[in-house]
Amino acid sequence: MLLDEHIDGILQKYVKDNSIISFGTDKLTENFIKKLAVYLEHSNLNIKIVPTSLKISELCVHLKIPTCSLNDNDVDLAFDFADQVDQDFNYISNDSTSLVRDKMIAQESAELIVICEEENFVERLNYNLLLEITPFATKKTLLNAMNLGEAKIKMKNDQPVLSETGNNFIEVKVDEVYDLDDLDYQAKNIPGVLETSLFLGYADRVLIHGQTVTMKSRIDTTISEE
């Protein structure tokens, strides 16, 4: 995988000594943290991770990477994996175990690097949406979510998928999107909806991987190869 070959260079360029780092709860995070552990072993950098899931916390303990709480620390750098990113740096991240935690990290990080595949860097977002909802009266929340498009409770092995904090998820096949802010507002205005997988205005950089690995910066609009 081409991205794997470039992770060391990415870490060397963006991970600084005495920094606090965090990650989205995407399943691809595990491999990234393993690469980080090897890099830290050879670089002797002093960093800590704010874990966003039990799995990430357990992995950090196993790899002997110090952890800390978001309550007591500011996040210097965060990474998130996206299903789709548009040219305005808005993105959708559905492979999450906690949209609430992912959104908090995106909001609190001084710099957020979003990683996506080349074919998923698009002019306009047109991907399905994920909603994290309270477990109370999920059928009512689902009924209201159908105003956004075709909607269903996210299931695995015939059981509702639960977030890190025991919430449910609704998968929405959204009709054509004309205004992202309006879509996000409509979704969050549904009683029972806690957070959406639509991240508007959070990303500072987008790492695009395909035939090559490139980084696009919100400040510098050119795309440079890493």
The pTM of the full predicted model, rounded to 2 decimals, is 0.91
Query: What are the angstrom distances between the C-alpha of 218 and each of 88, 199, 223?
Result: 8, 15, 10
| Cβ atoms of 80 and 97 closer than 8 Å | no
Query: One-letter amino acid identity for 45?
Result: L
**Residue showing tokens 């992770």:** 7
- Whether 206 is in a domain gets the answer yes
Give a yes or no: residue 224 inside a domain: no
Residues 118 and 146 in one domain: no
What's the domain range around 180?
129-197
Based on the domain organization, do 42 and 142 belong to the same domain? no
Closest CA to 160 of 184, 141, 186: 141
Count Cα atoms within 13 angstroms, Cβ side, for 172.
30
Q: Are residues 155 and 137 in the same domain?
A: yes
List the pLDDT tens digit at each of the 226 positions of the chain. 556 667 778 888 899 999 999 998 877 788 889 999 999 988 889 999 999 999 999 999 999 999 999 999 999 999 999 999 999 999 999 999 999 999 999 999 999 999 999 999 999 998 899 999 999 999 999 999 999 999 999 999 999 999 999 999 999 998 777 799 999 999 999 999 999 999 999 999 999 998 888 899 986 654 455 5
How far is residue 171's CA from residue 154's CA, in Å, rounded to a whole number? 6
Q: Are residues 145 and 48 in the same domain?
A: no
